Chains A and B, each alone.
Chain A
Amino acid sequence: MTSRQHRNSFDPLAARARGRRFRRRILEMAMTVPALHIGGAFSCLEMVDAIYHGMMRQDSSGAYLDTFLLSKGHGCVAQYIILDALGILPKGELEKYCTIEGKLGMHPDYGVPGIAASTGSLGHGLSMSVGMAIAERHKGTGATVYVVLSDGELQEGSTWEAVLMASSLKVSNLVVMVDNNDFQTVGRTSITHPSFYPLVDKFEAFGWETVEMDGHDSEGIVRAVSERRGDRPFMLVGKTVKGKGVSFMENVVIWHYRSPNPEEFKAAMAELAEGRP
């Protein structure tokens, strides 16, 4: 299967239904554990979903040829939900999230099925992905490495060492997306570092092919990636909403970390019900 076939077969309505279903599942999980990073998982969900359902190629045995690395490891519940739905995580593992019986913690751990590298400490993922992409290039596999970064993570100097390196080595099999929800633990990223924006200019200046777009537009994301020139590393700055999909969670900083109470849970589930636009 090629990424072009993916694009042709990528169904935006199905993606929207998955988005609602995955968000409901994340909220159900949030009712059983005290801390889940709901906001950051909801903001990157369409990008992670588009990578798995519209970009990553599998061989005849179902093994992925391409690699996905979630550099913003704290959003990993978004990845766990998708890995569970795809049958990559062992059945029942999601129910044991953050318990002593299970394998899944609040940050992705190398060795867990479907997890390509341990992340959680910010500013590590992009450097590792540059190494991975170079290895794939030298092996001649034709594989692409997909990465999702947080915008807070762009404040790490190490991220910029990797941005520079990917450009200098012309790592063209590297596709990176920034979950630009404009929030970090303590407020808005654009208030912490106002001169840092617009982001897309910075990557452009470092020699990347770039695009800035709605980070919740699944079909548009798949199209933008498939239509890239592909002669250099590619950066998609996705404008996203923290807590996307539940009105009272959107752009409210406490949902970086807290779980809903029963009333909030009910209201959120109603907003995410089947048949809603």
Chain B
Amino acid sequence: MRNTFAETLYGFAQADPRIYVVAADISPAGPMAKFAADSPERFINVGVAEQVMIGMCAGLALKGMRPFAYTIATFSLYRPFEMVRVDLCYQNLPVTVVGMGAGVVYSQLGGTHNAQEDVAVAGAIPNMQILTPCDPLEVREMTRFCAVDNRGPLYLRLGKSGEPKLTETAPDPFVFGRLRTLRKGKDVCILSYGVIMKTAFEVADALERQGASVAVMNSHTLKPMDEEGIVRALRDYKRVIVIEEHAPQGGLASRAKQLAWEAKAGCTLQTFTLKDAFIHCYGSHDDLLAAHGLSAAAILAALGSPGRT
């Protein structure tokens, strides 16, 4: 995802001199290094100084530029939170805050580098928008959206590297703010977003092997959330499953439960999220997800038979 983001942004930055990258000491891998070399005046490394990174982005945007603040999610969103809130969101400026390695992607770095509650934190701020690609193809589409169409503050929640392509055969295109069907199905609907979408596909495959017809939908825009689309899914399917690499509060799972109550939905709704805990484990990304109870096997075990509602 990191390289696709950099490569795509590089392309748009060639055409649009208003695009800036203001990075906080994150190594400019691959195409980002090319951007830095080609346009040094538009690639600014502030060093380990995230507050000025956000403030400078606001100042650039106030003068008509389209800046991207770029570093690891915990440092692009949490450390300079009040700058994100006041400088970007209160003034409603077209700045993209890129959160690299959100969720527990930095699985060997510990809790200091895990953004487990970033959707809740960013989503609580008025004017903020949140986009989360599930694969490199969506990274390309969303980076284009941020560089070209976006008109306000936006948190772009990225993974890191090695994510498989999942949306090549999706029946729906990416449309900002709209739930995207990635696989069609009739009985069960899995709602997910981000890097953990690959687990949602594994779960869908397993349920299909057990005889169920399973749809997979991507809630890639977490704010503004496609509430109508989610309510439709809650009404159309007997069973809806949310799989989310985020804390149980303030993300897709908690919102889906609220919507189900408000819509008096009759389906079974089962949600799988990160724990509301710092778990002090280290290992691969899959190891960390498993420690939070988010492996495909653990989810399937908890779901039981697909026919049971």
Contact = CB atoms under 8 A, between A and B. Distances in A.
Contact of B91 (A117, A132, A161): A117
B91 A135 contact: no
Interface stretch (B46-54, B163-171, B172-180, B237-245): B46-54
A127 interface: yes
Contacts of B90: 110, 118
Contacts, number: 93
Contacts of B47: 164
B86 A127 contact: no
B49 A124 contact: no
Classify the interface of chain B: helix, strand, loop or mixed: helix
A165 interface: yes
Interface in A230-252: none
Contact of B83 (A136, A139, A158): A158
B58 interface: yes
Interface string A124-157: 1011111111111011000000000000000001
A117 B63 contact: no
Indicate the size class of the contact surface on chain B. 20 to 34
Given A124-B86, A124-B87, A165-B46, A134 B59 contact: yes
9 contacts: A118-B87, A127-B54, A128-B59, A130-B56, A131-B61, A138-B41, A161-B51, A162-B52, A165-B49
Interface of B: 17, 22, 41-42, 44, 46-47, 49, 51-52, 54-65, 67, 82-83, 86-87, 90-91
Given A127-B52, A130-B56, A164-B47, 17 more contacts: A110-B90, A117-B58, A118-B91, A121-B86, A124-B83, A127-B54, A131-B56, A131-B57, A131-B58, A134-B59, A135-B62, A135-B63, A138-B41, A158-B52, A161-B46, A161-B51, A162-B52
Q: Rank and list the top 7 A-B pairs by shortest CB-CB distance, nearest first.
A: A131-B59, A127-B55, A135-B63, A131-B56, A161-B52, A128-B59, A158-B51
